[in-house]
């Protein structure tokens, strides 16, 4: 381990033009301040560090504690004797103070870089409820959480992820609420994945925690602090990574896809009705295309005859089989949706409208699709907007159910339905069943599953120590 000297630091941080070396002469002593200009508040450094050091009596230079307590006004000052720590402090936006006669350094907190203001999250809109969102700055995000839970039980464990990126990760949980087993499980997972040089996104960690071989998210995320703290209050663990504008929540259950902030801020009856719509929309979006295929190609007896004839007339000019027609219309809609998501904000919705209206109408006019197929695919796609977090999973299961139905008709459809339920039942999240609390053998915490009860009845933790599931 090399001694902390200016020369050694210059060697390590060579070719870094943004690293500044400011020298101050005080008596016979040369004091060097090392910092990265873009990460620090220059005015703050001038007022709280440089000015006091210039005006300082040179006799104080021999007493490090006196400099710390009487000279420097910076809010955090600490003694650093390790070169690696010193470098890390510089790279994190601190100012390192070196004197020629010292074999150690002082680190002063002076971070001050531009960051995005707190804004309204675009993906989690609410009718009634807080609109504050997370930003990319971990300290701002932590402040948002702390501001809502003023409890000493709120624990924040820090991890440094990536040997080169040195990204800060905070594991947040409520002691006494979150089961120790869960906290330890996530702690172990963090240690396991912390082996790369560069970790910028929390997805590396999420992938290690979540279930493999499924398109359903078994680890959740939120862009809203109020949602994050409500998850905390239910016993979950938050993972806040610096540079990410969302917070990872674990465990994440299937029913959470159907829950929104409005469910708990709006009138109970209204909220429950909206939630029923979401469940219905999910069933429609996953199963309607396959059910339609079964009815129009295999089990036609189940369609009222008048409607059957009308559909046959609509299909008269379509040159391809129904299965092909259904598949390419579903893929068309997915492509339009994907384009709408990726395009810049003002263009995206326009493209969706153009795609849905013009392309759908044009497909019918050109004889590529029948009206009923367009209605079915559009209905399936629109209903999947009600549960946006799993729309890709819905599309995947659309294809699976269609395949089974194509082969066997309604028996195939029901086989795919059983497979779907079996798949969901097979998934786990942090050791809990993904269908929890529905997939439990013990006490069913049903008061916030399909319908929500009164708020004061559902305040108990969803998961807690000693749960048997």
Partner 1 sequence: MKKIWKLIIILVLLLLLSVGCAYRDMNRVLFATSSSIDIDDDGNIVIYGELFSAKRSSSDAAEEIRMIHRGEGNTIYKGFMTGQTSVELPISYDISKATIITERAARKGLDIVMDGFKRNQKPSLKQYMFICEQPLEDIMATELPDEMFLGFYLESFMVYNSNVAYVEKIRVNEFFNNRNSGSHVNLVPIIKKIQQGGSEKIDIDGAAVIVEDKMVSSLNKEEVAVYKYMTNKLQTGDLTVKNPMESDNNISIAIMKCNTKKDLITLEDADTVVNLSIDLIVSIPEVQGDIIMTNKEIRDKISHEIEEKIEMQCSELFDKYQQMGIDLINIERDMEIKYPNVKFDINHTRMNVNVNVNIEGSGISTNNK
Residue 24 or 399: which CB sits closer to partner 1? Answer: 399
Residue 379 or 419: which CB sits closer to partner 1? Answer: 419
- Is residue 322 a contact point for partner 1 (CB under 8 A)? yes
In angstroms, the CA 414 to CA 437 distance is 24
Of 81, 195, 215, 365, the one binding partner 1 by CB under 8 A = 365
Q: How far is the CB of 407 from partner 1 (least distance, A)?
A: 6
Question: Any idea what the Cα angle at residue 433 is, between residues 464 and 259, rounded to 5°?
Answer: 75
For residue 161, the SS3 value is strand
- Is residue 362 a contact point for partner 1 (CB under 8 A)? no
Residue 324 or 341: which CB sits closer to partner 1? Answer: 324
Of 212, 301, 441, 442, the one binding partner 1 by CB under 8 A = 301
- Is residue 375 a contact point for partner 1 (CB under 8 A)? no
Phi/psi at 210 (5° precision) = -80, 170
Give the CA radius of gyration of the chain.
29
- Is residue 349 a contact point for partner 1 (CB under 8 A)? no
Of 238, 311, 368, 402, the one binding partner 1 by CB under 8 A = 311
Among 27-35, 161-169, 264-272, 296-304, which window interacts with partner 1 (CB under 8 A)?
Answer: 296-304
- Is residue 435 a contact point for partner 1 (CB under 8 A)? no
- Is residue 415 a contact point for partner 1 (CB under 8 A)? yes
Helix, strand, coil distribution of the chain in percent, nearest 5 = 50, 15, 35
Residue 315 or 337: which CB sits closer to partner 1? Answer: 315
Of 16, 273, 313, 358, the one binding partner 1 by CB under 8 A = 313
Helix (H) or strand (E) holding 4: none
Q: For residue 47, what is the DSSP state?
A: I
Q: How far is the CB of 359 from partner 1 (least distance, A)?
A: 17
Tokens 């708020």 belong to 455
- Is residue 237 a contact point for partner 1 (CB under 8 A)? no
Among 36-44, 218-226, 295-303, 428-436, which window interacts with partner 1 (CB under 8 A)?
Answer: 295-303
Other beta carbons less than 10 A from residue 401's beta carbon: 26
Residue 123 or 313: which CB sits closer to partner 1? Answer: 313
Terminal CA-CA length for the chain: 51
Q: How far is the CB of 290 from partner 1 (least distance, A)?
A: 13
Q: How far is the CB of 399 from partner 1 (least distance, A)?
A: 14
Q: Which of 390, 376, 380, 418 is nearest to 283 (CA)?
A: 380
Among 62-70, 183-191, 304-312, 333-341, which window interacts with partner 1 (CB under 8 A)?
Answer: 304-312
Between residue 143 and residue 162, which ones bind partner 1 under the rule CB under 8 A?
none
- Is residue 340 a contact point for partner 1 (CB under 8 A)? no
Q: Which of 223, 243, 272 is nearest to 388 (CA)?
A: 223
Of 26, 88, 297, 464, the one binding partner 1 by CB under 8 A = 297
Q: Which of 124, 91, 123 is nearest to 107 (CA)?
A: 91
Tokens of 272: 């429950």
Of 30, 323, 378, 399, the one binding partner 1 by CB under 8 A = 323
- Residues whose CB is less than 8 angstroms from the CB of residue 170 and which lie 6 or more positions away in sequence, other chains included: 138, 142, 156, 157, 158, 159, 238, 239, 240, 241
- Is residue 73 a contact point for partner 1 (CB under 8 A)? no
CB 435 within 8 A of CB 443: no
Number of chain positions touching partner 1 (CB under 8 A): 31
CB 98 within 8 A of CB 79: no
* Helix pair angle (371-384, 322-342), 10° resolution: 40
Beta strands in 37-147 (DSSP E): 77-80, 94-99, 105-109
Q: How far is the CB of 305 from partner 1 (least distance, A)?
A: 5
- Is residue 455 a contact point for partner 1 (CB under 8 A)? no
CA-to-CA separations, 89 to 4, 39, 107, 215, in angstroms, rounded = 13, 11, 7, 40
Task: Using the CB atoms, write b or e for 12-41: b if 16+ within 10 Å.
Answer: ebeeeeebbebebebeebebbbbbbeebbb
Of 375, 409, 452, 461, the one binding partner 1 by CB under 8 A = 409
- Is residue 321 a contact point for partner 1 (CB under 8 A)? yes
Between residue 166 and residue 225, which ones bind partner 1 under the rule CB under 8 A?
213
Residue 208 or 415: which CB sits closer to partner 1? Answer: 415
Task: Using the CB atoms, write b or e for 48-64: b if 16+ within 10 Å.
Answer: bbbeebeebeeeebeee
Site string for partner 1, 379-408 (x = CB under 8 A): -------------------------x-xxx
Residue 307 or 446: which CB sits closer to partner 1? Answer: 307
Q: How far is the CB of 446 from partner 1 (least distance, A)?
A: 31
Interacting residues toward partner 1 by CB under 8 A: 213, 296-298, 300-301, 305-306, 308-309, 311-318, 321-323, 365, 404, 406-409, 411-412, 415, 419
């Amino acid at each position: 381990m090399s001694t902390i000297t200016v020369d050694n630091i210059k060697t390590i941080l060579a070719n870094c033009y943004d690293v500044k070396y400011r020298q101050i002469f005080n008596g016979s002593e040369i004091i060097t301040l090392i910092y990265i200009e873009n990460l620090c508040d220059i005015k703050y450094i001038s007022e709280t560090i440089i000015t006091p050091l210039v005006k300082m009596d040179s006799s104080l230079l021999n007493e490090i504690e006196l400099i710390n307590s009487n000279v420097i006004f910076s809010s955090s000052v600490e003694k650093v004797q390790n070169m690696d720590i010193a470098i890390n402090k510089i790279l994190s936006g601190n100012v390192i103070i070196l004197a020629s006669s010292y074999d150690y350094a002082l680190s002063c907190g002076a971070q001050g870089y531009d960051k995005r203001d707190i804004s309204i999250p675009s993906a989690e809109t609410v009718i009634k409820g807080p609109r504050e969102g997370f930003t990319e700055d971990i300290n701002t995000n932590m402040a948002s959480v702390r501001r809502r839970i003023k409890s000493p039980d709120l624990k924040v464990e820090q991890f440094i992820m990536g040997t080169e990126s040195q990204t800060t990760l905070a594991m947040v949980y409520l002691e006494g609420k979150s089961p120790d087993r869960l906290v330890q499980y996530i702690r172990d997972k963090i240690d396991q994945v912390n082996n790369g040089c560069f970790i910028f996104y929390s997805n590396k960690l999420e992938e290690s925690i979540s279930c493999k071989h499924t398109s359903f998210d078994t680890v959740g995320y939120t862009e809203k602090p109020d949602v994050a703290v409500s998850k905390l209050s239910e016993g979950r663990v938050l993972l806040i990574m610096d540079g990410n504008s969302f917070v990872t929540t674990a465990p994440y259950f299937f029913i959470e896809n159907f829950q929104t902030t409005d469910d708990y801020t709006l009138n109970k009856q209204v909220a429950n009705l909206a939630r029923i719509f979401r469940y219905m929309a999910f069933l429609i979006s996953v199963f309607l295309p396959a059910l339609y295929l079964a009815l129009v190609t295999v089990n036609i007896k189940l369609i009222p005859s008048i409607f059957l004839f009308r559909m046959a007339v609509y299909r008269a000019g379509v040159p391809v089989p129904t299965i092909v027609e259904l598949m390419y219309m579903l893929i068309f809609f997915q492509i339009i949706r994907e384009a709408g998501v990726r395009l810049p904000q003002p263009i995206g919705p326009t493209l969706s409208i153009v795609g849905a209206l013009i392309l759908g109408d044009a497909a019918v006019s050109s004889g590529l699709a029948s009206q009923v197929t367009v209605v079915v695919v559009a209905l399936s796609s629109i209903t999947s907007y009600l549960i946006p977090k799993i729309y890709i999973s819905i599309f995947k299961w659309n294809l699976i159910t269609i395949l089974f139905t194509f082969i066997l008709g309604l028996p195939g459809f029901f086989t795919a339905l059983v497979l779907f339920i079996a798949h969901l039942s097979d998934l786990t999240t942090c050791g809990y069943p993904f269908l929890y609390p529905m997939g439990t053998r013990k006490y069913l915490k049903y008061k916030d599953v399909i319908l929500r009860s009164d708020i004061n009845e559902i305040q108990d933790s969803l998961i807690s120590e000693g749960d048997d599931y």
